[in-house]
Amino acid sequence: MEAPLGTAFRRRALVALAAASAAWRAFPAAAQAPRPGISVADYGAIPGAADAGPGLRAAIARLPKTGGAVLRFPPGTYRFAETSGVAAQFAALDDITVDGPGARLLFSGLKRPFMIQNCRNFRIAGLTIDWERPPFSQGEVIAVAAGGRTADIRIDSGFPVDGSETVQAINT
């Protein structure tokens, strides 16, 4: 004996719902599939070396424009020799993660770590970014000359100057 039409329809709907549910449960796992990884060390950015800049830029050049990837920094301290400009430029990339648990990027001067332009879903995780010496000094105004055009400033010991620095700005 055949099942009534309504029963068959409910069975098909139940099967379709079960298939859709299984596909939905599988979707997040597929979305989290491992993305290609590029290690900066493979391109010459080595912890403890004199200058990680060229190796970092070479690794960035290998990142795919679309499809995503992970740019990995193995643990350690990466020094950047240049004292101005930008260390790494990321432009027009999709789904990129810069990952470096235990990695420390160490800059000097007015060097800027990253410039990120026209990127989608760009993430930075686990990095410590620091400067050998902060790119500024701080102190206390201890005297102002008549007319207010010159001042004596006592520089805090943690921010030494040697007199060759140019003044870029003075804040409160």
Q: Residue 133's pLDDT is what? A: 82
| 86 close to 112: Cβ distance less than 8 angstroms | yes
Measured between alpha carbons, how far is 153 from 156 in angstroms, rounded to an integer?
Answer: 9
Residue 38 · residue 72 · CB < 8 Å: yes
Report the pLDDT value the prediction gives residue 114, as an integer from 0 to 100.
96
Which pLDDT score is estimated for 158? 81
What is the CA angle 101-114-169, rounded to 5? 120
Quick one: pLDDT at residue 160? Answer: 82
Tens digits of pLDDT across the chain (172 residues): 555 555 444 444 444 444 444 444 444 444 455 578 999 999 999 999 999 999 999 999 999 999 999 999 999 999 999 989 999 999 999 999 999 999 999 998 889 999 999 999 999 999 999 998 877 888 888 999 998 888 888 888 888 888 887 777 777 6
- What is the pLDDT, as a whole number, of residue 13? 44
Predicted pLDDT of residue 166 = 76
The tokens of 37 are what?
Answer: 């990884």
Q: Which residues contact 104 (CB under 8 A, 6 or more apart)?
A: 76, 77, 78, 127, 128, 129, 130
Q: Looking at residue 172, what is its pLDDT? A: 65
Q: Which amino acid is at 144?
A: V
Amino acid residing at 31: A
